[in-house]
Structure 1
Amino acid sequence: MSIELRHLRCFLAVAEESSVTRAAARLGLSQPSVSRALASLEQHVGVRLVDRSTHHLALTEAGRAFRDKAAVAVAAFDDALDTGRLPHRPLRLGHAWSALGPYTTPLLRRWQREHPDIPLELLRVDDRTAGLVRGEVDAAVLRGPVDTPALATELLFTESRVAAVPSDDPRAARASLTLADLAAGPVVLNTVSGLTTLDLWPPEIRPTATITVANTDDWLTAIAAGRGVGASAASTAQMHAHGGVTYLPLSDAPRVPVLLAWRSASPHPAVRQLVALARAVARRR
């Protein structure tokens, strides 16, 4: 049996989605075909890549190591197919939400002025690496720690955190909130592409009830409906205003690192220019 690119794409989709069903939907394939591709890949490499013993699929240690190699291989293949368009093919910049916050528009405008021959495409992709590991984008704006070895990163700036509460909640009238103020009721967590996990809270005040969603839109809707409260980066308040959600400073939460990430192997030819310009834009404001 030979392994084809489709096997790697299926594996990477499962790795990002933690679900065969969601991976199949993203790829436009049937669930059984994705399961067969994953099983064939595991048989070929001779190790189990995905732990299926839990409700949500998780990568094994071997799977995490193989994911980085597979991502590099897929990205290199995709780049090879684009050689006829180099060096002027579009530079795809992914983000899971909020992009670069207040620096987004200045970056896009300056890029257009300074690099008019290379279009910069801003794409929202709802997963933890904003499509970077799967090769859907050439670079990505990521928040929080990045532990994927195949990625190179540049810290652009840090931003404060905010609490998000229903606008008719009594806490919405406060000037600021603390982590303890959010711990009493359910906390809405975006477990697919979000930044916040229960580890944000110290063990002694960790919330006991959570509601999980898959993207920022559903996160906002759940909070506006009064199902729970949330925590996010300050850019969320700037980029995702909602009539039913009030954002307040979260006074005792650590700041959030905002990074530009790209694949260290086979990067887009213009990635270095993007890094330099993003750094310059973030430092000027």
Structure 2
Amino acid sequence: MFAAAMNVEMRHLRAFASVATHRSFTVASRELMITQPALTRTVQQLETALQVRLIARNARPVELTDVGRRFLERVRRVLAEFDRAMAATCDERELRLGFHWVLPHPWAQLAIDRFEQATAATVTVSRCADLVGDLALGEVDVVVLRGARALPGLTAVRLFDEGRVAAVSARSPFAARHELHWNELADRPLVVNTVYGSTRPEQWDPQHRPQRVVTCSNFDEWLELVRADHGVGAVPTPVARPGLHPGVTLIPLVGAPSVPVQLVYRPHQPDPLLRRFLDAAVWAAHEQPVPAVMPSGRSYQSA
């Protein structure tokens, strides 16, 4: 077995670790920028070289064998050491994380702490007006993006889903409510941030879809429109905190679709630091408590 294992290359370990981390050949193939058949062959070559089965056949989602789980722990240590060695040869010891507004909590701190402890590098957090544009220009290395959308030329790793709460003006008849149903928001004009908002009219069933939409291009404008009672909106639960904005009331929301949270990055430049951050991000997504949901029967209003 030792002689066969000598044929194992880093690409084999990367392929196996990516499939095992994402529990998906499809997602791993996008991350590694190779076709799914090529990825499958690479993992099979690794199993042949080691003369063991690492991944259970025909399991959906992907499941590791007992040997595969033990091997993954060792592979991650090998890749971490290799990435640290590669990163040590670079002058840049910083990873730039972009976000639009309100980083997910406690995921962000868990991921950053694990990454910095593992690499001795630092994470610089930047609030970006144009996440995709800044990523394309190389102003940031990876961004946190809420919502499911197609981003050609970029790779997205889905981390977890967040709940939603309603946002209404303190002058709105809804402001006195202890709870709202998702479909009730469709009875009022809907305020939509067309750039990075996570709420769109098409998320409602056709028979309950909002008939009027008030658009804006950033979060501050969105808040002002809601405050002025030009319409209602919905935001992810991490935003549901007292003091969000004077005159805006946040109310528990029932029946709303969840908000997917993704990490998005450019796949064409494999970076050891970026790979280590992705590992830390996925680990933190699994380790964090369930994202907080605003308790039913409570509304928050800034005085």
TM-score with structure 2 setting the length: 0.60
Amino acid at match of 1:115: T
Deviations 1:159-210 (A, max 9, x none): 1122111133231232321232112222111112212111112222222222
Matched, 1:97 2:95: no
User: Rg larger in 1 or in 2?
Assistant: 2
Residues 130, 141 of structure 1: 8 Å contact kept = no
Residues 191, 225 of structure 2: 8 Å contact kept = yes
User: How far is the alpha carbon of 1:132 from its aligned partner?
Assistant: 2.1
User: How far is the alpha carbon of 1:153 from its aligned partner?
Assistant: 2.0
Residues 126, 193 of structure 1: 8 Å contact kept = no
User: How far is the alpha carbon of 1:282 from its aligned partner?
Assistant: 2.5
User: How far is the alpha carbon of 1:129 from its aligned partner?
Assistant: 3.2
Change in Cα spacing, 1:86 to 1:152, as seen in structure 2 (3 Å) is: same
Unaligned runs of 5+ in 2: 1-86, 289-303
Matched, 1:277 2:280: yes
Deviations 1:47-76 (A, max 9, x none): xxxxxxxxxxxxxxxxxxxxxxxxxxxxxx
Matched, 1:259 2:256: no
The CA distance in 2 between the partners of 1:99 and 1:123, in whole Å, is 10
Change in Cα spacing, 1:139 to 1:227, as seen in structure 2 (3 Å) is: same
Deviations 1:78-134 (A, max 9, x none): xxxxx9993534211111222223323343344444433x22111121236373234
User: How far is the alpha carbon of 1:238 from its aligned partner?
Assistant: 4.5
The CA distance in 2 between the partners of 1:202 and 1:180, in whole Å, is 9
Matched, 1:178 2:181: yes
**Alpha carbon RMSD of aligned pairs, Å?**
2.6
Residues 189, 230 of structure 2: 8 Å contact kept = yes
The CA distance in 1 between the partners of 2:195 and 2:89, in whole Å, is 33
- Secondary structure at the residue paired with 1:99? coil
The CA distance in 1 between the partners of 2:102 and 2:200, in whole Å, is 18
Change in Cα spacing, 1:162 to 1:122, as seen in structure 2 (3 Å) is: same
Change in Cα spacing, 1:130 to 1:174, as seen in structure 2 (3 Å) is: farther
Amino acid at match of 1:175: H
- Secondary structure at the residue paired with 1:135? coil
The CA distance in 1 between the partners of 2:175 and 2:111, in whole Å, is 33
Amino acid at match of 1:186: P
After superposition, where does 1:2-41 map in structure 2 within 5 Å? Answer: none
- Secondary structure at the residue paired with 1:243? coil
Change in Cα spacing, 1:175 to 1:98, as seen in structure 2 (3 Å) is: same
The CA distance in 2 between the partners of 1:272 and 1:240, in whole Å, is 37
Q: Partner residue of 2:12?
A: none
Amino acid at match of 1:122: V
User: How far is the alpha carbon of 1:275 from its aligned partner?
Assistant: 1.2
The CA distance in 2 between the partners of 1:260 and 1:239, in whole Å, is 27
Amino acid at match of 1:260: L
Change in Cα spacing, 1:100 to 1:268, as seen in structure 2 (3 Å) is: farther
State which of 217, 220, 227 in structure 2 corresponds to 1:217: 220
State which of 222, 227, 233 in structure 1 corresponds to 2:236: 233
Task: Return structure 1 stretches of 4+ with deviation > 4 angstroms.
Answer: none
Q: Partner residue of 1:188?
A: 191
Matched, 1:204 2:199: no
Change in Cα spacing, 1:267 to 1:225, as seen in structure 2 (3 Å) is: farther
Q: For this pair of structures, how many residues does the alignment match?
A: 202
The CA distance in 2 between the partners of 1:269 and 1:199, in whole Å, is 39
Amino acid at match of 2:226: I
The CA distance in 2 between the partners of 1:178 and 1:157, in whole Å, is 23
Change in Cα spacing, 1:268 to 1:99, as seen in structure 2 (3 Å) is: farther
User: How far is the alpha carbon of 1:246 from its aligned partner?
Assistant: 1.8
Residues 96, 130 of structure 1: 8 Å contact kept = no
State which of 112, 119, 122 in structure 2 corresponds to 1:119: 122
Amino acid at match of 2:272: P
Amino acid at match of 1:274: F
